Each structure stands twice: as C-alpha cells, then as structure tokens.
Structure 1
C-alpha cells in the first residue's frame, strides 16, 4: 500500500486513495516530544482488499515509571514505550498468520515479547501501576460479496466504529471500564479494568460483524472522542471536516486542526472508507447525515451553551436520548472474547 505521509506542525498525517478505497490517519500529541499514542497502524492487502486499522494509547497513569532513555538521553516512560512496542507486535501478528488469527494468539505474541530488551526494566509496584501498559483497538476487515466483514479487537478504552451514510456512526467495541454508557464516560474518567501490559493477565476482546458497502471503518484513541460535549459531536466533526475538505490529505489536515482545538490529550485516528467510487462520492454520501446532526444535535448544543448549565445539561441528555439507539445498535451483547 502506497501511503502518503504529511505533517502539520507537530501532527503527523497519512492519506491514500484508489478505486473503492480511501484512507486517512492523524496523530497529534499534547506535549511536543512526549506523546504516548503510537502512530496509527494501517495495513492494506490490495489483492484481497483486506486490511487492518489500529490505534494504541500508552496508559500514562499506570505507566509513569521510567522504562529507559534514548541514545540522546531523553527519558521514556513505560507508557510511551508500550504503545510503540504493542503497535509493532500487532503488525507482526497480523502479517504472520502462522500463530493463528485469534485473540489468544495475539495475547501470547504480545505477552511473550513486549518486555524483551527493555532498558532499566524493573518490577513496578502498586495496584494501579503496570509494566508497559497500553490500550489497543483494531479492526481487521475483508470484503464479502457486497459487504465488508470484520473482527473487532480491543483492550482498554480506545474504540472501533463503523459509519454508514444512512445510519451514521456506530460503536463496535465496549470500553474496558466499569461504566459503559458513552455519555457517562464523557462526564467521568473511570479506571480501566483491562489493558495490554507486560505484567500478565490481560485479555484481547473480540467481536465480529459485517455491513454493506459503502461504509467507513474507524479506530480512534480517547483524545478524539473523549473531550467532546456529546457522543453525537464526535460524529459531527468527522463529517464537518470531510465536507469541508478538497481531498483526502485536506481531510486529514482538518481533522488534526479540529482535534487540537478541543482535546486535552494525545490523539490518533485511522479511517478506511470502503466501496465509494472516489473521494467526491464519499463526501457526498455523508451530506444528509451531516445536515441531520447539525439540526438535531450541534445547533441545539451551541444554543444551550449560551443559556447556562441547566440548559446545557438538559440539551445534552436530549441529544443522547435521540442519538443512542442508532449509535449503540452494533455494540457487543457482552464484553469479552466471542469466537
């Protein structure tokens, strides 16, 4: 796959376009040189039109201890190192099927190699600390007679989505936290109950599904979706930036500009649009959905913001009530591995 990288300030951008396939990805960091998200992973096998989208977010709270230093002497935490090592191990696992395409094989691959060769490795202490902790959210996809089938794979609170022009954004993974309601998770920050780490005892959840093409697959860390006012706002910004863009590269630029305007965290996203004739067709397909979100969610929230906290809370709850059924229609029936 011929990926075209670009940069905007400290952000890193990627895009690729060919018949029936458009992809973009964005990586940004809150503090220059300290970003705990790894670069998003985008793999595409052109002969089979299958691939993998994945994101990785080093867990700063659990991974504060020093893991080592770069050759230049720069300190790197367990969280910073973890996301990058997990990224590499997931890529190895996906491209080498000799170990088997299963969560168990992925866990074994990560668990056996994550801590190998880490400088200054020491056993972390405390209930909340982990060795090399990171989230992982991946979508492995393949075409299937006018549809796309996928395996959703995740550990932690990074997320996977599918978006259909007539239905909109639908969450495919369930955060590994005690709370599961997407609005509640915007209003609180519960600890994760599961994440990838080198201390042992983590799980990779799996859920399978499919959708008719054309559709859009998305993986994102919480820097993108965790700092908006309502769950609908994340979808709104996806199509607002899409409709405002001239091409795929421009879309990635607008996504970076937008997320940097509101997030309080590092942020990364990987997007694959499947089955659209070209970028113009992708953009046109989501015009109706954007107009609907603008009228039913974005405009009422903007008005409520100037009317005080009570109006804002009430409008946010109405937005979630109207949005929730469509957004949650593909969520797994339960957390955990489903074979």
Structure 2
C-alpha cells in the first residue's frame, strides 16, 4: 500500500534574476551579484532558480531585451515559477508588462530593500520610517497605473490582498502618509531635544558611516566595549546608537553608528530616514568604514561619497577605516595600502582581530575640534 504524499511547500516557487546593465560594466559583476543574493537571503527568500544576464541596452517597456525575455518566459513556464525577483530597479510600467508576459508576481530591487528594512526596524521611529517609505513607493506605483487599477499589496513570498480602485487606494495612502508624518514629526522633536542637550556640551561628536555590512557596528563595539547588534548580514542596523568613547581613561567624544548605505538605495528610504541621517549633519568627524575584502570597495566609497554630497556634507572632516584586512593576503594588503593613499587620513584594520585599531585610536586621541564647530 502506498502512502499518499502531500506538498509541504509554503513559499511560492521563486526565480531570481541578476542583471549586468551598461551602467555597471565597470564594477566586479560577480561581487555585485553576490550582493544581490545576500539581499535575497537576508530577506528570507528561498529561491529555486537563478539566472544572470548581461544587457547591452535597456528595453523601455520591459527593461530586459526581447531575446532575454523570451528565455525567461520559457523558464517560468517550464519550472512553474510563481514569482521573479530582479536585481535592478524597475518602473511601474515595466513591472506591469513583465507580470503580464511572465504570468508571475514581479518584484524589483526597491521592494527587496524595503522589505529588509521593514523586517529589521526595531524602534518605533524606525518602523514608522519604513512604513512611510513603503507607502510612498506604493503611491508612486499607483501613479504609474491606469485608471481603475492599483498596486496589489503583496510581499515577496506572499499572496497579498486583492486590488482596489486606484482613486480610493490613493486617498487612503495619502491620509496614512499624513498621519505617519505627524507621528514622525513628534518623534523628531524628541530626537531634536536630545540632540540639543548633547550640543549643549563641548564634547565632540563622531559618526560612523559606510556601506552596508562594512563592519560599522563591530567598530562601535570595538571602540566602546559595547554590545550593539553586529551581524554578518545587510542592514542589520537601522536605528542610530550613540555611545561614549573613552581613550586612555578619558572621555573623548560621543560616537554614533548609523544605517548603512547601498547602491541604488530607494529614494523613498532616504527621505523617510532623513531625521535619522541628520545625526551626520551635527557630527564633527565622520568615520567611514570600508569593507576592503569586497572587490567593489571603490564603488562602495563612491556610493557613500555621492550620498554625502547630496546631503551637503562633502566638506565634513572624515577618517577612513579599511576594515576586514584579516581576509586579505599580504599581497592584497600592500596593494590596498597604495590605493588607500588617496583616502587619507586612513588606517587598515580588522574589528575582528583589533589589528590596526590602535592607529585609529591614536588619530582620535590627537584629534581636536575645529574652533568654529565647537559653537554649533
């Protein structure tokens, strides 16, 4: 007698698609694809198939070209794929067309990152910021759809509720956005009051910045002997943490950890986390942590530098920590030492082994606050 078997599958059958576009020809594409897979895994997505492609041009209506699209259609039909996650940012019309042609749920880089932020937000402010970003994203998606249509509010790996009329949905979102903004404004005032109390002292303020998963929280822990959550995953830290920094038994500064940056960070997230990123505005010194073991570390520096420029902070004093040198060979360390010269002042370090951290501590110990900054 044969026993009847039942499927225990919970997640939809998923396909991830990594794309090399003309815009990212200059970077190490394997590291870029690894970052994409890390985003997928950090989000808890179990995928059955993965496809990687190189595009020489972008098709306005579907993003990917006709030949590549035909291959995806065949694969989705053959393997009964239910959802496809793309490594790039897609516009509303591209998502709509891909859903129709592939006959699956379609998600892009923006939604992937938004979901990770949603899962990792711990504080009330952080949760509200992520909710605001989601609503602004959904509103933008709705704006790109035809009359009478709306974004199906599904999550990756889930089956969202049904569609509603565009106008009704838009009004609901706008009211919700307004309510969240008011709540965030109240929390922002509390943050401003706390900041004002700190500004009332002559204690210098340092902020740790950097690309996601570069080791910012690990550096904060190493410098302050604290136990801030430090995980080897993308966006483990979303909420700003501030600690006192003591050097040789004397209080030197207040030092804060901040949310990590990433290439193609959704604009809605940048806007939503503006109050959190304001900590950088009031910092006297930025400590930029770079994952030197990542082949795209130079691109990561450019991403962080670009965001600092957008915030008008490119003139802030900055010290660069090239982290994770324990993962480099001696030859790679020597090469890095030469390449790092253009980012002086800097040090090569490992928060895991504490190697090189004394160079950072020596710099911070001798650092003096500019006269004009002491009155901010």
TM-score by length of 1: 0.26
- Compare CA radii of gyration and give the structure with the larger one: 2
Between structures 1 and 2, the one with greater helix share: 2
Between structures 1 and 2, the one with greater strand share: 1
